[in-house]
Amino acid sequence: MKLALDRAILAKSHASTLGPKCRDTREKAAWEDCLKLYDFTVSKINKTMDPDTKCSKTDSQTWLSTALTNLDTCEAGFLELGVTDFILPLMSNNVSNLICNTLAINKVPFNYTPPEKDGFPSWVKPGDRKLLQNSTPGDNVVVAKDGSGNFRTIKEAINAASGSGRFVIYVKQGVYSENLEIRKDNVMFRGDGKGRTIITGSRSVGGGSTTFKSATVAAVGDRFIARGITFRNTAGANNGQAVALRSGSDLSVFYQCSFEGYQDTLYVHSNRQFYRDCDVYGTVDFMFGNAAAIFQNCNIFARRPSGSTNTITAQGRSDPNQNTGIIIHNSRV
């Protein structure tokens, strides 16, 4: 694991020097993703090794699985934009091989942990359950397009998030055209319900973005919660991959939310995620990624694709020892 960390840091340093070699915006977009993903990988391996971080072997396997997923995502970004020559081979397969070795060494037996009596998984703490189920959970800030809150945009509210505890952002009814990345831990979005509080964007691979960067909303910080929000990507059925929500947030929860798009709507990228009473709309591979993701009491709507076939899920595990998968329980297609 120490060797994997050293090589990841070296590869990240090497990758940072490749920017001037990018010949166009598509190469630069894939390169920028890789810099971010190498950052995430170094952080996850560091966390796994940190003696001050309390973690089980299952936690370690989750974070190592995520570290490997990040490197796979880096490579996928170059391939989907047609960049296969000088940059891609320099992104270092050695790091991936070393992480695969640590996954094999660290592998633990699967243990099923039953949910709490109210249906939420055991890692959703009592305080968070109150936030999910209470109509007025104690908002830190309010976002309203009409100026009746603390901020008019969600991005401003995210920038204002502070402290180590739960930070609740109440987003009033309205359509918010924003592309957001939530990097702080313990942030919660509370909306006025599906179809009422809507966050929308239109980035797509057809429009020159990578799948990773096309997300209207990207949850990165751990323990992110969303309740009563619609996440939307309006790029359309003919623009290829276009993500409404990407989550790499460990122990994230989405309750009574809607995810609307076409190809690659919901990117359950990595780590552990729980979806309950949610709606997912799409055409091809529209629930995809390499997280350990549970969908419970959800509605899955297949839209008319540009071709002839709908593909609902596309699970992305690349190593048999990753503790990842998509579980759909008590839901309807």
Residue positions annotated with a catalytic role: 264, 285
The H-or-E segment that residue 245 falls in is strand 245-247
Residue 270: which residues within 8 A CB-CB, separation 6 or more? 65, 66, 69, 70, 248, 289, 290, 291, 324
Give the chain's radius of gyration (CA, Å): 19
Give 143's contacts (C-beta < 8 A, 6+ positions apart): 149, 150, 151, 152, 153, 154, 156, 157, 169, 170, 171, 172, 176
Q: Which amino acid appears at position 7 of this protein? A: R
Pairing, β 180-182 against β 197-201: unpaired
Q: What is the DSSP track for 248-307?
A: --TTEEEES-EEE-SBT-EEE-SSEEEEES-EEEESEEEEEESSEEEEES-EEEEPPPSS
Please, how many CA atoms are within 13 Å of residue 209, restricted to the half-sphere of its CB?
18
Dmax over Cα atoms in the chain, in whole Å? 56
